[in-house]
Structure 1
Amino acid sequence: MELHERLGAVRDSASFLEFARALARDHATSSDWENTTPGAFLEGAIAWAQDSDFGLSQGLASSNPWQQFAVFLYCGKLYE
């Protein structure tokens, strides 16, 4: 399953941890990360959260905080 597919499947703590493990594997094997240091990763994730109202302006449901946080981590990978 692709990383973005795992992201869409996050519904609870177990699926969140499954996504987080996949994100860690992606970091170890992929060269397409924009934010490669911990600081840049967090800055990207925080910028996304502020710009999108933690995903609410992008259609993420506030009733699924596990998915909101998974997207937060995913955006740390690429959001500038």
Structure 2
Amino acid sequence: ILDEVKDEESFLLFVKSLFADRELHEGKSKDKVSFTEDWANDSIRGFLEAAVAWAEDSDFGIH
């Protein structure tokens, strides 16, 4: 669904889809690297820290 984001409306649909998917994983146990199935972050802070680290380490996905 990420590839379908083209405007404000499709972005909101994408975010709502993320929210619904995350909600399905709430309360499930974590694996040995602290993932809850496909989810690696349990907080917005963790997500933002990981996003910044990815952007800096990969030059926004170029490397």
- Report the TM-score when normalising by structure 1: 0.54
Which runs of 5 or more residues in structure 1 are unaligned?
1-5, 59-80
Instruction: Report which of the two structures shows the higher radius of gyration computed on alpha carbons.
Output: 2
1:37 Cα deviation after fit? 1.8
Give, in whole Å, the separation in 1 of the partners of 2:7 and 2:59: 21
Count of matched residue positions in the alignment of Structure 1 and Structure 2 = 52
Normalised by the length of structure 2, the TM-score is: 0.66
CA distance in 2, matches of 1:41, 1:54: 15
- Cα separation, 1, equivalents of 2:59 and 2:6: 19
Aligned residues with identical type, % of pairs = 44
Structure 2 partner of 1:11: 6
Q: Equivalent residue for 2:58?
A: 52
| C-alpha deviation, 1:11, in angstroms | 1.0
Root-mean-square deviation (Å): 1.7
User: Structure 1: how far apart are the matches of 2:24 and 2:2?
Assistant: 18
